[in-house]
Structure 1
């Protein structure tokens, strides 16, 4: 008994200082992310104010003015889950604006406001990255050192072109995606990076862009084969169950994407071996996809990792129960 107490005391003496240091560092990181988000919020608010100044110049038609004012209002008042979409819409409208009609001083002010938004976003996402990296460590999770602090989230909005005085060109991208389930109801996800921001990792579903003239379901079948080696009969795909609209930047290019999600059961065609063939990856996928794994709904809800779609953990159980009602649902 005495020996056990001595061992416990020694462990406490050894771990105690580390626990205190780590908890203190984690607290500072959470404070940093909160401050970084406040900076992002302030720069976005300033951009909305400058947008209203643009609409007050009398240089644009009534329809353009109404769209800009409405977008600025929505962006300012959007709840956090809808903020990215609202801000991306405002970015899109500002990117289409003919800035040659504006006074030079206002062009410079708008460009400065946009630049500050992007800088603040990068600082914020760096803070989120560092905080999540510490929160993901096993001892931190086991000892629950994060306490009741909420999990910080990246703020993903498409970055404008390097010359902010020029219109932003966004590439329209339609994509077919497959929620590939195994016999245990887990979903297959890939972990990837953006070459422009290699320190920020995220998980995403099977799938990719639809080729010109290609049918949606055929694109889902092709993408599943190229990325997993599985030949899924088109008739076995359920859906599209979800639709996701998102604007983002990847490898320095801005995209306006519309994604359609189907459900398929890999166990029907692959058994429960989960042996995947990724030899069909493109050169870009080989550079940016790090690994893959099967995720349960519980793991998705509790993970500190960034996962897209963001509602995957919440909605996955309904797909596993095969309770699709035939309606395509909008997800984030």
Structure 2
């Protein structure tokens, strides 16, 4: 290349840097601010949860409520990974509390502590949502603008509700192909259509139906695959969560089975023609995920620990049903 050609190439490259550089810098700065915002939101949520635990212990002492103090201690001492489960356990104990028996100031203090947790959790999850949305940009991923910052996660905790959540028992199938990839659907809550998440095959257990039968039925309705009950191993996991969908609150109890044979291969066609109306309206697509892809993604996936527990579940089952988030 001649010196004039090199100069021209340099000028073109310099022009690209001048044009694109400020945008990249602005995006990097925005992402950094979002990470700071998420960290601050978690600190505020952690403080609100700690205050709720303190007030709960006072209620346990003055109200003589069995098990309440222990639940508060477990919530306060839990690690970050176990915090959701411990806080949800505490929420469950508080739901059964007869507040009319408490002194009015103490009842008001507890209610205030709970509402502060609700607000802090919403602020935190809003910050996580915005951060994840930017981290999913292709430019951000290609240039690794997130650096070494950990991927933030939502904090799912039951909120105090005026109405008791509807109990919903589900049977779910970890449907794997010959390469150990698991089939997931991407959907959304009609009340929050911008918040997408991935989830496994499965659904609600019908009246007088056992878990394994429900899992086989749901797999057929959602994928068209005709599994036999003996194809399923488990339940290998169970998951309890309180969530809202389309404005209604549910107390979910999910049981997960694994299909350990080659339930599917590269030529398998997933038939979703039997989706019900809600599924047709709220499920966008499906795809196969490897454990490595699940660990690398910034998308929201349920169970949250799927990437962590999937390899062991596909390798074999020791007969123990483990709790997952």
TM-score, length basis structure 1: 0.89
2:303 pairs with one of 280, 289, 309 = 309
Q: C-alpha root-mean-square deviation of aligned residues, in Å?
A: 2.1
CA contact (8 A) 2:158 2:241 kept: no
Alignment pair present for 1:95 and 2:88: no
CA contact (8 A) 1:186 1:297 kept: yes
Aligned to 2:25: 20
Gap change, CA 1:67 and 1:195, over 3 Å in 2: farther
Q: Distance in 1 between matches of 2:104 and 2:281?
A: 42
Q: Distance in 2 between matches of 1:252 and 1:47?
A: 26
Alignment pair present for 1:280 and 2:285: no
Aligned residues: 320
Alignment pair present for 1:190 and 2:188: no
Aligned to 1:75: 75
Does the residue aligned with 2:253 lie in a helix, a strand or coil?
A: strand
Does the residue aligned with 1:219 lie in a helix, a strand or coil?
A: helix
Does the residue aligned with 1:149 lie in a helix, a strand or coil?
A: coil
Alignment pair present for 1:323 and 2:308: no
Query: Deviations along 1:100-158, whole A, 9 cap, x unmatched?
Result: 11222322222222112111111111110110000001110010000111111001112
List gaps (5 residues or longer) in structure 1: none
List gaps (5 residues or longer) in structure 2: none
CA contact (8 A) 1:180 1:264 kept: yes
Q: Distance in 2 between matches of 1:94 and 1:217?
A: 33
Structure 1 position 206, deviation (Å) = 0.4
Q: Distance in 2 between matches of 1:96 and 1:75?
A: 17
Does the residue aligned with 1:18 lie in a helix, a strand or coil?
A: helix
Alignment pair present for 1:258 and 2:253: yes
1:13-162, aligned counterparts within 5 Å? 13-58=18-63, 60=64, 65-161=65-161
Q: Distance in 1 between matches of 2:193 and 2:107?
A: 32
Q: Distance in 2 between matches of 1:287 and 1:44?
A: 36
Alignment pair present for 1:297 and 2:302: no
Does the residue aligned with 2:66 lie in a helix, a strand or coil?
A: helix
CA contact (8 A) 2:231 2:261 kept: no
- The list of structure 1 runs, each at least 4 consecutive aligned residues, that deviate by more than 6 angstroms after superposition, is none
Aligned to 1:208: 203
Q: Distance in 1 between matches of 2:215 and 2:300?
A: 23
Does the residue aligned with 2:207 lie in a helix, a strand or coil?
A: coil
2:14 pairs with one of 9, 15, 20 = 9
CA contact (8 A) 2:233 2:260 kept: no
TM-score, length basis structure 2: 0.90
Structure 1 position 319, deviation (Å) = 4.3
Q: Distance in 1 between matches of 2:233 and 2:177?
A: 15
Gap change, CA 1:239 and 1:55, over 3 Å in 2: closer
Please identify, of 9-18 and 322-331, the stretch whose mean Cα deviation from structure 2 is larger.
Answer: 322-331
Aligned to 1:230: 225
Q: Distance in 2 between matches of 1:327 and 1:69?
A: 29
